[in-house]
Structure formats: structure tokens, C-alpha cells
Amino acid sequence: MSTALVNGRVLLDDGFRDDLVVLVEDGRIVDVLDGGDRRAHAATRVDLEGGYLVPGFIDVQVNGGGGVLFNNTPTVDGIAAIARAHRRFGVTGLLPTLISDRIEVMRAAVAAASEAIAQHAPGVLGIHLEGPYLAPARKGTHDAAVFRVPDAGEIELATSLRGGPTLLTLAPEQVPVEAIRAFVERGAIVAAGHTAGNYDEIRAGLDAGIRGFTHLYNAMSPLQGREPGAVGAALEDEGSWCGIIVDGVHVHPASLRVALAAKPRGKLFLVTDAMPMVGADDPSFTLYGETITAVDGVVRNAAGALAGSALDMITAVRNCVHLLGLPLDEAARMASRYPAEFLGIDHQRGRIAPGHVADLALLDADLAVRATWIAGNVEHHA
């Protein structure tokens, strides 16, 4: 049976339209119709009550949610719990993100993500391995004791996911250029992050196939007058994408506006870097044996380093509107279309268009999530 989503403000490539019907069948968007089209009347009609219908959000950096940290629970059930927790915030696709860890934990995480994808676990798209090929000087909350240089066997392991994209964050100055090229040749999307590299080292990584930057500004060498650093390389390079954490804590709004001005439109996208307290009542979790607690929504470890975030994606979208002054349509694209383009899955996700998977989110006038669809299956949210 076809379902017609009616009476909504539908986000298309050129902005919101309030005179259209989205026709869904067998988990995909069949067409976007004028309201008077007879196919809209033959289908089961769902009244969106004037809400904003946007592509479902895609988060490429999710360490945890619903009380679960991926590092501590690298299982199919753990991944599913994280995805369930983030769905209520509009996320219909995510990459469970493994913080730097031992090789046996990495092996379990990749296997679990492969199995979750094979089981069609709702919302699971691939995996993000954030480390362990990082710079001790920019480690953040990562454990430098597990940092290492990948050998051929580990390159094979890190790129062994089946059925979805692998995002790998590394410090270009810590990894031989040949290894970066090997990751890329084996299909990984490589991002620079947790790096103390200078401009030339970052530029060499870009030339070797690095596609983007993990949480721009955070845990990377800054832009300075005589040394552009990783930030300068990221802002200058027109072809690369940058994930940004828009929580008002990780990056000052003025710095975010600089990035928006410097990068071509579509090259900045939202990430949460979420930890287990997102979608959970407990503000604490354990990482590397240390208990970490969010205080006033800010997550820091005992050394004072930011340790991920308590941010959810719909809040990031609202912050783009209220802190940065972006229109809602562009803020929503930063959470959907642009990350889909970064992952190379924009032919299937990230837009409301015929042939795309019916991953959708319904927002009310206050920009709260009222419903989500994953492959056409709806879930309502209070």
C-alpha cells in the first residue's frame, strides 16, 4: 500500500513547499506530487498538520546514547540501543563511533556493525573508527596508551566492514602517506582529526585522499598567521567536508560563522559527538575505567578535556537557527543532505526525492521532533 504524507511543509532542494504530497511505498519515496494528483487520493493519507517534513538526520559521529557507550558494548544490541536513543531526536541514520581502543575491541566493533547492517537494524549505516592513529598532543579524552601506527593487518581489519561506509579519523602526521592511501583504496572515508600536524602535513594527507575533518577546530592545530595548521588547511580546501559540533561549548559561534563563510556551501555538516547520556536519564558514563559526568550539559573528563558531548541532533539544528542565524532549510540540510554527500550515500539518503529511502523527520513549529520514518516505518515521538 502507498502512503501519502499530506498537509506538511516539505523540504526540497530549493526550500520548503506547502503544496506537495510525499508518496511512500515499500520503504522508498515514490514521488513528490501536487496535492491534486489522483495518486495522492488513492493512497492511505497521513496528515502532517502543517509540520516541517525534512530528510531524516544523519549523524556520522555517535559514541553512545541511551546509556550505552559503543566502546563498552561493541555488540549488535549495543548499536541498536544507541540508534533507538537518537531516533527521537530526528536521527534516522548514524555511524556508531568507536573511540581509540585495543585491537580486539576494534575487531568486535567492526563485526557488530557488519552484523547490525546485515540484520537491517533501523538507523545503522556503517561505522566510524575515531582513532587509534592519533596525535598524543591532541588526544582529547582518548587514551594515548592505545595509539599506534597501523600495519597491513590492521588496515585490512579497519576496512573490513560489510554493507556500509567506514569513516576513519586519523592524524595525518602520525600515519605514513602510503597507509592513508591504502585505507582510501580499500574504500574507507578518511578524515583528519586529533592532529597536531602543520599545514604541509595536513595538505599531504589531503593529497593522499583525506576527504574531511572530524569536529573542526576541536583537537587540531589552530589557524595562526604564520602557520595555518589543520584548521587553516580545512578552511582553505574547497573539496573537503568538515563536521562541526554546534552546542555553544565546543566552538564559539563566531568561529563557526567564519567556517561558514570560508567553506563552499554544503561542505559543513552537523555532528553531535554524543555520549551515553543522550536519550538517557543518567548524566554519567564510564570510559577507560574513569567515570565521566556531564555538568550543566558539558562533558569533561577528570583532566578537564572535553569528552564528547551531551548534544542531540535536533538541538544542533535549532542552535544553527538561533545561534548562527541560519534559515531552517539550510540547518536541516547540514544534518541530512550534506553528511549524506560526505558519506557518498546521497543517491539514496539525505533528500526528499523520488527513489530515495523514506527516511524522514517531522518537526513542529518549535522545532521539536514529532515523528520519524526509517525506510517508511513511522515512529511517533512525544
Active site residues: 273
Contacts of 57 (CB under 8 A, 6+ apart): 89, 90, 91, 92, 93, 270, 313, 314, 317, 335, 336, 361
Q: Which helix (H) or strand (E) holds 241?
A: strand 241-244
- Torsions phi, psi of 27, nearest 5? 80, 0
**Total Cβ atoms within 10 A of residue 106:** 22
C-alpha cell at 121: 537494524
Assess contact for 122 and 83: CB atoms under 8 A.
yes
Contacts 24+ apart (CB under 8 A), 116-122: 116/76, 116/79, 116/80, 117/161, 117/162, 117/163, 117/164, 118/162, 118/163, 119/76, 120/375, 121/76, 121/79, 121/80, 121/83, 122/80, 122/83, 122/84, 122/87, 122/374, 122/375, 122/377
Other beta carbons within 10 Å of 243: 28
Of 271, 219, 280, the C-alpha closest to 69 is: 280
Q: Smallest Cα–Cα separation from 106: which of 44, 56, 166?
A: 166
Tell me how many degrees the CA angle 277-282-283 measures, rounded to the nearest 5. 60
Say how many CA atoms lie within 13 Å of 347 toward its Cβ.
1
167 in helix, strand or coil?
strand
Number of H helices, E strands in the chain: 11, 23
Three-state secondary-structure class, residue 187: coil
